[in-house]
Amino acid sequence: MKVGVLALQGDFVEHIQILRSLGVEAVEVRKPEHLRDLDALVIPGGESTTFAKLAAAYGLMEPIRDMCTSGKPVWGTCAGLIFLAKDAGRPQPLLGVLDVNVKRNAFGRQVDSFEVDLDVPELAQVEKNGNKPRPFHGIFIRAPLISSVGKGVHVLAKLEDGTIVAARQGNLLATSFHPELTEDRRFHEYFLKMGDGSRRS
């Protein structure tokens, strides 16, 4: 399996390191031609407006959008979630493929970053013992939240107050937090598992 990580800015290196530790060929994506033979794509955290503008400048918008609609797994973390969304509450380049509305910097500035354990039942798919999945430690850094979801979107995780922080729509995965900044590889394993069907088809 070959997975690309959008490497225009942000924490792409951490994603690549985890993917490679799972035995996956992980490569940096900076040009449209880098997308051609990929099985999946990760859009990492960073500054959403900046890398959306860079993606547009490098001609990546349509090729990434095509990949999203092709059925291949695409995962957006933090700013990557914003980039996938249909509406971010303000004008900026968006892929518009994930049927969610998001609120940018929903929890405040950098100093308001926080960590919390999340209940993610879907991670039972990658638990080795078959038991109920243990909590996933979410790291939120200037994070967005998902304010509403469309009918085809499955909510994966919420905060205690009901705020949606992870969701999936078919081949599209989105998290407000940063799994790549933890030692826990289960979200990456879950994402790779999403690609099983598309590789067989």
Supply the residues annotated as catalytic. 78, 178, 180
Q: What DSSP element (H or E) covers 57?
A: helix 48-57
- The enclosing H or E element of 5 equals strand 2-6
In angstroms, the CA 68 to CA 75 distance is: 9
Half-sphere exposure of 130 (CA within 13 A, CB side): 0
Q: How far is CA 142 from CA 72, 77, 113, in A?
A: 28, 12, 6
DSSP state of 106: T
Which residues, including other chains, have CB under 8 Å from residue 101's CB and lie 6 or more apart?
A: 85, 86, 87, 88, 89, 146, 147, 148
Rounded to an integer, what distance in angstroms lies between the CA atom of residue 49 and that of residue 91? 9
Residue 165: which residues within 8 A CB-CB, separation 6 or more?
A: 118, 138, 140, 143, 145, 146, 157, 158, 159, 175, 176, 177
For residue 88, give the 3-state DSSP assignment.
coil
